Structure 1
Amino acid sequence: MKKKLMALIMAVSFLGVSGAPALAKSCKGTIKEFDGKTMVVEIKGKCKANVGDKVKIKVKKQKAIEGC
């Protein structure tokens, strides 16, 4: 019984520690303006980011589609 209880406690604590980065905020949008160091982004849908939050932006390049 003690082993099962200890396993449950370890699982819950592991989820609490590793689950936070896994549930990171993800927002999608389009760049509307870019002037030097200032960028204006229009967000699609809901986004939980707030003013002053540090963000990392990955640019998704659009692939050309070739046709016949």
Structure 2
Amino acid sequence: MKRKIMALAMAMVFAAPMGALAKSCKGTIKEFDGSTMVIAIKGKCKAKAGQEVKVKIKKKVAVEGC
């Protein structure tokens, strides 16, 4: 039982910083030319030039009302 509790505690200690490093950056696309995209970042972002990133597009949803 002690081993399971210790393993869980160790997992929590080492997994917590990984979530903090995986924060997302927000911005808007300024230019798109073929396979090159220029994005203006809003606020701070830990990504550096030359890093591989995954871009997720947010869909705009229309809200209808009476």
TM-score bracket relative to the smaller structure:
0.7 to 0.9
1:30-60 per-residue CA deviation (whole Å, 9 max, x = no partner) reads: 0011011000101111111111111101100
Cα contact 1:30–1:43 (8 A) shared by 2: yes
Q: How many residues align?
A: 61
Q: Report the secondary structure of 2:41's partner residue.
A: strand
TM-score by length of 2: 0.74
CA-atom RMSD in angstroms? 1.8
TM-score by length of 1: 0.72
1:37 to 31, 35, 38: 35
Question: Kindly, what percent of the aligned residue pairs are identical?
Answer: 56
Structure 1 moving runs of 4+ over 4 Å: none
Q: Which runs of 5+ in 1 are unaligned?
A: none
Which structure has the larger Rg? Answer: 1
